[in-house]
Structure 1
């Protein structure tokens, strides 16, 4: 029954995609840096725009793509945001937001996104997670059935100084983080994964 509901919703919202103008990186904090300049790659998924395998999707293992990026002069801390701009909603769905990534860390793997303590938002990678749409660590991609290809942005953002530790550990929302980093962004890069779910 759920499949029929999803297929009907996909038909109704067929044109409700490409909310790029409301992506995280379109906020005021990025006014001086409107375009990505940091090369980001994914060793386990492929080049930018690669199709995500079932193991990286909901219903599979839900693995977080491995990401690698280049160093930036003057970075004090990294921020990582994952979102789906093609969801049939007014704004992109935030799949994950990760704060307090050490300035010397230039890659992440799926193993970095395990919770160390149920009472803390600190992850095994040494950084913290913020509040995504479901309030958990990461929402694996699950495009609406028959809604076509969805893109999943993985944006790595260089900040000129570390965010306050109390803020980083407080599980802030996408909106709170966007406000907190205003005036701190010095560069950013993006890797995009793609996938879709078809009625078979």
Structure 2
């Protein structure tokens, strides 16, 4: 019964989407860098705007799609990275945060499913930290409302000239909003890969 109710609501709310102006990369920290300069790809899914498989969905394998990136030039000085995964197409006032990751080492050039295995209260096997997402876990795969149409998932990689000051966080797991403030004045480059996912009856 519930899937039919969900599908009906999704259809009715189909025009409620596209909160792109509230994406992480649209914050004050990016005012002087409006255009992407990192090349971000997903080797297993294809170019940006490619569909993700059922294995990537929350109801499937909940598998994080491998995300890789390259700096625009070798002399760009990077101390660490931040990676934020958001869905701006949910019928809500702001994008949903599916993944919040920070203190990613400068030597890192990709994040894959195995990187996100938790090894502590807020640390993962990839050697960095995870913050608070909407689902209260390390990563929440796509699960758009039935009947709401395709949703876009923005995997935003941000290169920083200095590390994030973690002392200013209220809890061990940083929020998306805390990171947005913590990176102001530190962004040297950013890029994004977009995956598309839809649930149908």
- 1:133-172 equivalences in 2 (<5 Å): 133-166=134-167, 170-172=172-174
Aligned partners of 2:8 and 2:147 also within 8 Å:
no
- 1:109-124 equivalences in 2 (<5 Å): 109-117=112-120, 120-124=121-125
Quick one: distance in 2 between partners of 1:7 and 1:54?
18
Corresponding position of 2:133: 132
Q: Report the Cα offset of residue 135 of structure 1.
A: 1.9
Corresponding position of 2:22: 22
Corresponding position of 1:69: 69
So what's the TM-score if we normalise by structure 2? 0.94
Quick one: distance in 1 between partners of 2:57 and 2:200?
14
What are the ranges of 5 or more consecutive residues in structure 2 without an aligned counterpart? none
Q: Report the Cα offset of residue 85 of structure 1.
A: 0.7
The secondary structure found in structure 1 opposite 2:153 is: strand
- Structure 1 stretches of at least 4 aligned residues deviating more than 2 Å after TM superposition: 164-169
Corresponding position of 1:5: 5
The secondary structure found in structure 2 opposite 1:100 is: strand
Corresponding position of 2:56: 56
Corresponding position of 1:96: 99
Q: Report the Cα offset of residue 153 of structure 1.
A: 0.3
So what's the TM-score if we normalise by structure 1? 0.94
* 1:161-187 deviation per Cα after TM superposition (whole angstroms, max 9, x unaligned): 011354588211111111111111111
